[in-house]
Amino acid sequence: MAKSLVIVESPAKAKTINKFLGRDYVVKASMGHIRDLPVKKLAVDVEHNFKPQYEVIKGREKVVADLKKAAKASGAVFLATDPDREGEAIGWHLAQELKGARKPVHRVLFNEITRRAVQEAFAHPGKIDSRKVEAQQARRILDRLVGYKLSPLLWEKVRRGISAGRVQSVALRLIVDREKEIRAFVSTEYWTLDARLAAGQPPEFTARLVKVNGEKVRLPDEGAARAAVAALEHATFRVAHLTTKERKRHPVPPFITSRLQQEAARKLGFQAKKTMQVAQQLYEGIELGKEEGVGLITYMRTDSTRVAAEAVAEVRGYISEKFGADFLPETPPVYKSARGAQEAHEAIRPTSVLREPAGVRAYLTRDQLALYTLIWNRFVASQMPPARFDVTTADIEAGRSLLRATGRVMRFPGFMQVYVEGTDEAPKRPPHEVEEENGSGEAHETAEMTLPPMREGEVLALRALHPEQHFTQPPPRYGEATLVKELEERGIGRPSTYATILSIIQNRDYVVREKGKFIPTELGEIVVDLLVKSFPRIMEYEFTALMESRLDEIEEGKAKWREEMHRFYHFFAKWLKEAKVSMANIKAMEEQTEERCEKCGAPMVIKWGRFGKFLACSTYPKCKATRELPRNGGNGASAEAAPSEEAAQACEKCGRPMVLKRGRYGPFLACSGYPECRTVVRVDGGKRQPPPPPEPTNERCEKCGAPMVIRTGRYGRFLSCSTYPTCKAIKSLPIGVDCPRCKAPLAQKRTKRGRTFYGCSSYPACAFALWNRPVPEPCPRCGAKFLLEKRTRGGEVTLACATQGCDFAKAPGAPEPVAAPAS
């Protein structure tokens, strides 16, 4: 009997599944998509009902040929691709390519790669879901039409090589709009006034001024704060009202894709792309020692919070045994998924909660363990009871003023015993604005602050008054977590696309990341402004969300994909035609300045280039002189004409002035003698980090006889001719130990990744190298010319002999040897 062919996307998934199916199956990987719209043309026949023209992806021809051969030799074909739109589309393309084999084709779906789930899926195979395929095809064609029609327009008007996209451009607009908000924000001064008070029993506590004469207090400046202090300095502080209430904090649902990306960014510092890569590894299978490989988590592309009944039963048993009956709610918590979520999927959870992170630590990489722990903790916590707190609020009267102190004490940790969700930063606002928004007096609640025993009417002792100045802060820039959150809340894109969106806008030079935050480049802002003006409908947040809803309706069978294509393209073609005429041509725009070209004396003009605006000679191409324009560059002054303090430095190589420039990766200092001198210096956080000045030595250059100096370069310190760039002779810096092979001096060097090593200065003639630093101290036991400086993980230093078979070792400066360090 012929074996059945099983096709999955990746070799890792194939390896895991193969162990579950036995000898009657052959499992092969398609390596992802095998067919797609070709890159070099639109490949969508707009005139004939948007017929797509698919072809085998370049480089996948051998894979397809191998699958066809295997299909002909098999009894049946099982498509075990991922259980989402993309997986369904991959399965459909595979079925189309394998039609010639004339073998029955089955679709199998499983949400986790475990023996039970896989065998259950193969016991009940189904068919390819044509509606999912149509929804994916609609998205693909929609994105192709927008990208391939808008991008050439931007090439013509702005710069070749840039791109636009139906979703990526809207995501970029969020970043640009936020940057405009920040620029427009006017910071406002405000003050707060806290009183340090003592009751009859400890501890002392802090109360904040919240009302004066029954009105919410506003302290706009120092004068108002001082007046408030003066009014309270000699006042009697009396407890007017005490209330204690129990508050609950409920657990959060198990992860969906977007929330996993957000939390991994907050807690682990993972970018969305990395989160999905590591999650894919955990899903596809991990070898657990002598056990068979198994998927550790359920499918990681999901927007559903549903959890299978057997998983709930398992985790409840675990919680009861591990934490006790108090930590097990009477009924399992059920979480509501977002509108339009695919309830056929489950939330992201461990395939078995019994595989504790500590138990699988030895088999996982550091990143895999960190993400698995996050998923495991969140899932367990989601099935635990709320945390309970006693929140006590004390209203304290002092003359015409009212102060408020709030204390919170945890009475029962509940789910917080296992997991607490991370938070995003919020802008600072005056206390009265916070109180007006939440309608409560708990705006100043201090976590876990304990108030002393008090009674109403009790007089309190004033220990100190603390007025403090604040300024309102603009909304924070988006980071990975907050941008994904915003996209999700607005319904822009889908969880499976967020990682790709974030990667594209960074790779296209539209944004840069500084301290984990997205800042739009000048190019990014120009592109958004042009698109918003010429394609306002496409760039609307609501319209993009509406298109996502339409794609969901296609999958649900409520809409026809071709009808949606016609509806969209009817308007899009009209907008495109108008934009070709009306869109501003940035390339052709020139802004006159009063600057003069240093080479020919002609006027300089401001032009647009790859990294933004710059000064260029107006006679170009006759004269090709250019100069950097300051970042604020409104007056046409060049960076050379008005150098910053950091830029007022001489080039270490030729002595000419260094000028501040801005490139793809941020600001840097460059020699004004470019291109004759190409010296550049990185600028970190806007501050120049200049190399130390050259150090004189007694050595002479072997080429010209001039003195050699010690310089610091990208890969560490080195010897260089003092006449550089006239003479470019360089040598490695000796460390006082000779090579045991060729007797040339050993030198300290660095690999391309920055790791220090010690190698022969005669390289490549001699390739001798050591990771540990050689010390010019002979071995008293075997006579070796040097010892090696070895460091343990605890930071202890030992000098040990490098000769094989010699175990001599001692502490630095110690006369007697110590035990040899572990290798």
Question: Which helix (H) or strand (E) segment is 249 a member of?
Answer: strand 237-249
> Cα–Cα distance between 192 and 201 in angstroms, integer?
26
- Cα–Cα dist 579/151, whole Å: 12
Q: In which band, very low, low, confident or very high, does the pLDDT at 744 lie, cut at 50, 70 and 90?
A: confident
Quick check: 439 pLDDT over 90?
no
Is 770 a residue whose pLDDT tops 70?
yes
pLDDT at 678 over 90: no
Q: Are the C-beta atoms of residues 659 and 643 closer than 8 Å to each other?
A: yes
- 770 contacts 783 by C-beta, under 8 angstroms: no
Highest mean pLDDT among 163-167, 380-384, 598-602, 633-637: 380-384
Comparing 78-92, 187-201, 220-234, 506-520, the range with the smallest average pLDDT is 506-520
Measuring CA to CA, which residue among 181, 224, 190 is closest to residue 471?
190
Query: Distance (Å, rounded) from C-alpha 344 to C-alpha 321?
Result: 30
pLDDT in tens, 456-485: 999 999 999 999 999 999 999 999 999 999
Which of 176-180, 413-417, 420-424, 563-567 is the least confident region?
420-424
DSSP-derived letter for residue 217 is -
The candidate with the shortest Cα–Cα distance to 768, out of 806, 790, 808, 739, is 739
> What's the average model confidence in pLDDT over 444-452?
64
Dist. CA 334–CA 314, nearest whole Å: 15
> Positive or negative CA dihedral for 233, 237, 240, 244?
positive
Within 3-128, strands assigned E span: 4-8, 25-29, 35-36, 44-45, 51-52, 55-56, 77-79, 105-107
Task: Decide if pLDDT at 619 tops 80.
Answer: yes
Residue 433 — pLDDT band, cuts 50, 70, 90? low
Phi, psi of 203 (to 5 degrees): -95, 165
Q: Read off the pLDDT band of 611 (50, 70, 90).
A: low
Q: How far apart are CA 493 and CA 171, in angstroms?
A: 9
Which carries the bigger pLDDT value, residue 276 or residue 757?
A: 276
The residue ranking higher by pLDDT, 627 or 359, is 359
Going from the C-alpha of 200 to that of each of 59, 273, 392, 451, 453, the distances in angstroms are: 80, 57, 17, 12, 8
Global confidence as pTM: 0.71
Q: How far apart are CA 144 and CA 134, in angstroms?
A: 15
Burial of 574 (0-12, 13-18, 19+ CB in 10 A): exposed
Banded model confidence at residue 364, pLDDT cuts 50, 70, 90 = very high
Residue carrying the six token digits 């409560």 = 440
- Only one residue has tokens 């992806």, namely 57
Pairing outcome for strands 511-514 and 105-107: unpaired
Residues 6+ apart with CB under 8 A from 439: none
Lowest mean pLDDT among 41-50, 238-247, 655-664, 751-760: 655-664
Residue 754's region, left for phi above 0, alpha for psi from -120 to 50, else beta, is left
Residue 358 structure tokens: 């500590």
Contact 382, 249 (CB under 8 A): no
In the block, which residue shows the tokens 């001198």?
Answer: 677
Q: Counting every residue, how long is the chain?
A: 823
Average pLDDT, the chain: 85
Number of H helices, E strands in the chain: 18, 37
pLDDT at 681 over 80: no
Rounded Cα–Cα distance for residues 266 and 269 (Å):
6
Rounded (10°) angle between helices 168-184 and 480-490: 110
Q: State pLDDT tens for residues 322-339.
A: 999 999 999 999 998 776
Cβ-contact 703, 721 below 8 angstroms: yes
Of 38-52, 628-642, 783-797, the poorest mean pLDDT is in 628-642
Please report which residue ranges of 234-268 form alpha helices under DSSP H.
Answer: 257-268
* Top-confidence residue, 293 or 630: 293
User: Which of the 8 DSSP states describes residue 744?
Assistant: P
The gap from C-alpha 516 to its chain's centroid, in whole angstroms, comes to 7
Cα-based angle 598, 602, 604 (whole degrees, multiple of 5): 80
What's residue 679's pLDDT?
78
Tokens linked to 601? 């004396």
Task: State the DSSP string of 663-688.
Answer: ETTEEEEEETTTTT---EEEEETTEE
Compare 774 and 811 and report the one with higher pLDDT. 774
Mean pLDDT along residues 721-745: 82
Mark residue 624 as left, alpha or beta (left: phi above 0; alpha: psi -120 to 50; beta: remaining). alpha
Mean pLDDT (whole number) for 583-592: 82
**pLDDT tier at 666 (50, 70, 90 boundaries)?**
low
Please check the confidence at residue 680 and state whether its pLDDT lies above 90: no
- Whether residue 376 is predicted with pLDDT greater than 50 in this model: the reply is yes
Per-residue pLDDT tens for 380-417?
999 999 999 999 999 999 999 999 999 998 999 999 99
Please report which residue ranges of 395-495 form alpha helices under DSSP H.
431-438, 480-490
Distant-in-sequence, close-in-space partners of 460: CB < 8 Å, separation ≥ 6: 197, 198, 199, 237, 238, 239, 396, 454
Residue 337's pLDDT is what?
77
Strand partners, 405: 394
Number of C-beta neighbours around residue 196 at 10 A: 14
Pick from 375, 483, 403: which is nearest to 239 by CA? 403
Query: Which band of pLDDT confidence, cut at 50, 70 and 90, is reported for residue 570?
Result: very high
pLDDT at position 341 = 60
Given a cut of 70, whether residue 753 has pLDDT beyond it is no
Active site residues: 299
> Count of alpha carbons within 13 Å of 138, Cβ hemisphere only?
27
The better pLDDT of the pair 666, 512 is held by: 512
What pLDDT does 655 receive?
65
Name the CA radius of gyration of the chain, rounded.
34
The percent of residues above 70 in pLDDT, for the chain, comes to 87
**pLDDT for 650 beyond 80:** no
Give the CA dihedral 325, 331, 337, 339, nearest 10 degrees.
-160
What is the SS3 assignment for 322? helix
Q: Which residue in 639, 716, 630 sits closest to 671, CA to CA? A: 639
Q: Tell me how far apart the alpha carbons of residues 433 and 210 are, in angstroms, rounded to a whole number.
A: 11
Q: Averaged over 349-357, what is the pLDDT?
A: 95
- DSSP 8-class letter at 758: E
Residues 60-99 have pLDDT tens digits of 999 999 999 999 999 999 999 999 899 999 999 999 999 9
105 token code pair: 């084709």
Which pLDDT does position 436 carry in this prediction? Answer: 58
The predicted pLDDT at position 815 comes to 53
Of the candidate ranges 256-260, 298-302, 787-791, the one whose mean pLDDT is the lowest? 787-791
**Local structure of 642: helix, strand or coil:** coil
**Residue range 666-677: average pLDDT?**
70
pLDDT at residue 587 is higher than 60: yes
